[in-house]
């Protein structure tokens, strides 16, 4: 098993393309995305009951090295500050075949 960092980002769906570009720039090789994430945070409820995706959230999960994690967290901060959301980092173990 390899020790890695698990990074989870939840932000406005319209900002996901910017998050993907940041992941590429930092050198993170892969990620998983879940669209139309609903929930409640400090900015209130996020729902998916409108025809537009302007008010929905997306969830991005990725695994990276500690060095990539620090660059990623720093680069995603402006998006989270402007549009809301969270970035959660945890230690993980990765097994790949």
What's the pTM value of the predicted model, to 2 decimals?
Answer: 0.85
CA distance 20 to 40: 24
Burial class for 74, CB neighbours closer than 10 Å (0-12, 13-18, 19+): exposed
pLDDT tens digits in sequence order for the chain, 97 residues long:
889 999 999 999 899 999 999 999 999 989 999 998 877 666 655 555 555 556 688 999 999 999 999 999 999 999 999 988 999 999 999 887 7
Between vectors from CA 49 to CA 9 and to CA 85, what angle results, nearest 5°? 20
Domains of the chain: 2-94 (3.30.70.120)
CA distance 36 to 49: 10
């Amino acid at each position: 098993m390899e020790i890695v960092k698990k990074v989870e980002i939840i932000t406005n769906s319209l900002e996901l393309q910017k998050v993907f570009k940041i992941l590429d720039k930092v050198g993170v090789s892969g990620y998983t995305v879940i669209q139309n994430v609903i929930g409640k945070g400090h900015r209130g409820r996020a729902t998916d009951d409108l025809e537009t995706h302007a008010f929905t959230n997306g969830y991005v999960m990725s695994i990276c090295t500690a060095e990539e994690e620090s660059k990623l967290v720093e680069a995603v901060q402006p998006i989270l500050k402007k549009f809301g959301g969270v970035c959660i980092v945890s230690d993980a173990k990765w097994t790949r075949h």
